[in-house]
A and B are shown apart, each in its own frame.
Chain A
Amino acid sequence: MAQTIRQASGGPEGPIRERKKPLPYPLSLYQTAVGKKYVMALTGVGLLGFVVVHMIGNLHVYEGPAKMAEYAETLRTLGGGLVPRETVLWILRAGLIAMFGLHIHSAYTLKEMSRLSSPSAGFVAGNKKYAGGQEFIAANFASRTMRWTGPIIALYLVFHLADLTWGWVNPDFHHGDPHNNVIESLSNPGIAAIYVVANVALAIHIYHGAWSMFQSLGINNPKINQGRRHLAMGLAGLILVGNLSFPLLTATGVINDDDRECPPGDLVCLEEELLEKEGGHSE
């Protein structure tokens, strides 16, 4: 053990925070940093699942307005006739909101804890600084910018909802006709740029997060350790390519409205168009 010089006057420095009196399990987990990190990783897995499914679902945009509208309707009627319309969707949304809340709360409080653990080293922009300039060897751009890419994603999320869920900032929003809404929004180069920047941030966030979560959850085994990095890279790449394709291909006109048969927002027409096409196959 290190020989530590005890201060002649005043004695050794005490702890910088108290050990909390434990709440009943499992709340006690959230009182400690390791437990919080566990929650961050678990909610990260959930959000990651959402992001992947969301991206894959959005590929329907390549199938045209009718198919895209059908996909949107499918989400609203998940659970079929067993439950009222949008029930399952709202359960999923509630789960997502809770995961976002916990993920952000744990991230913020843990970063505060680290900040308070190194003020003498001038904690700047989320990392402590040595006057001589610290040379990072293992920490990469992604790991050092989690606390920036995170908030960028959060802000983007609000904008994205306002654009394509609520339609507040969409120039010609029609509820239930997402194909129209996507093109209205993304054919504007400025808006497309916001989507590109945010999704690059998301991919960077996932690049570190999807690796880090294995460590946080204690999933470590020589057989899979190499694969953890590859999985993180693969997921980041998948999300990057999939999510960037929408703004880039709309801005360049590959995703377009040229074949549209129904006026924007005419859901009855879209449904008929779908029936016509599908009917052609089955008869």
Chain B
Amino acid sequence: MSNTLNLTLKVWRQDGPNGAGRFESYEANGIADDASFLEMLDVVNERLIEDGQEPITFESDCREGICGTCGIMINGKAHGPQKGTATCQLHMRKFSDGDNITIEPWRAESFPILKDLAVDRSALDHIIEAGGYITVNTGGAPDANLIPVPKEAADMAFDAAACIGCGACVAACPNSAAQLFTSAKLQHMNLLPQGQPERWDRAENMVETMEMFFGSCTNHGECHEACPKEISLDFIAFLNRDYVKAKIKNRKLLGQN
């Protein structure tokens, strides 16, 4: 048995990257409370299309919380009110009948709005391009367990690797800093043996690329609260540590690090 909700949405509409943008109100009546937030938007969009209006543009892909594509500001909270949950996995039962819901895109200078709720997150890709990889010879797959990894390091690297690159951390950050994303992407490699050869270059390049696009972290901790994967603030401390070490080490001759 599912209940239905009648909601009022206040949605950011923007025709294109250079459009002015404005809020528009929509009635969303008869929404099943077991629908996901995105399914609710789907229903609203179908009704808009039937009425001959332009549907609300938003991004989504896997709808199971692992692709990092969806992500909107719901009532001033990135990915909505439920902790550790991406927008696609947020269900309407978290809302009550008669609620007003304000829906906005991520806001940061380096996340330009493309249309309505969709923003361009290429800046995050540029941080990955700067060092979010390891260089290996391709060829036959190596034997499992060929490289021993301490359990603690493996666990921690895995926690960092859970980052789906959604950008909620930047959106929620009062400074528009991308520290949580960058630290997760940096540390899931820097913690593992495979990541060691490029560790210090990676730290330097990823951090400095991040700073070309984003603001400066002041350790508010909003990112962690917004993060659907609950990435720990500890990784930000590790990023700071590795970056400063990298600065010291890279001074020395190559190979003497």
Contact = CB atoms under 8 A, between A and B. Distances in A.
Interface of A: 1-7, 10, 12-13, 15-19, 25-26, 28-29, 32-38, 110-111, 113-121, 126-128, 130-139, 143-144, 146, 208, 211-212, 214-220, 225
A32 B118 contact: no
Contact of A135 (B76, B164, B234, B242): B76
A118 B215 contact: yes
Contacts of A32: 207-208, 211, 243
A5 B59 contact: yes
Contacts of A212: 218-219
A7 B120 contact: yes
Contacts of B69: 2-3
A143 B125 contact: no
A214 B219 CA distance: 10
Which of B10, B221, B226 is packed against the most chain A CB atoms within 10 Å?
B221
B110 A117 contact: yes
Contact of A113 (B10, B59, B215): B215
Tell me the interface secondary structure of chain B in the complex: mixed
B65 interface: no
A19 B165 CA distance: 23
Contacts of A128: 107-108, 174-176
B217 A220 contact: no
A16 B110 contact: yes
A12 B122 CA distance: 7
Contacts of A34: 207, 211, 239-240, 243-244
A107 B225 CA distance: 24
A116 B109 CA distance: 7
Contacts of B243: 32, 34-35
B216 A111 contact: yes
Contact of A114 (B176, B219, B221): B176
17 contacts: A1-B164, A2-B67, A15-B212, A17-B212, A26-B247, A32-B208, A35-B244, A117-B109, A117-B110, A126-B174, A137-B225, A139-B222, A143-B221, A216-B219, A217-B241, A218-B238, A218-B240
Interface size class of B (residues with CB under 8 A): 35 or more
B212 A13 contact: no
Tell me the interface secondary structure of chain A in the complex: loop
Given A13-B110, A25-B248, A114-B215, 19 more contacts: A4-B121, A5-B59, A15-B213, A19-B208, A29-B247, A32-B208, A33-B217, A110-B216, A114-B218, A116-B215, A117-B177, A121-B107, A121-B176, A132-B75, A132-B102, A139-B221, A139-B222, A143-B221, A225-B234
Contacts of A37: 216-217, 240
Contacts of A146: 218
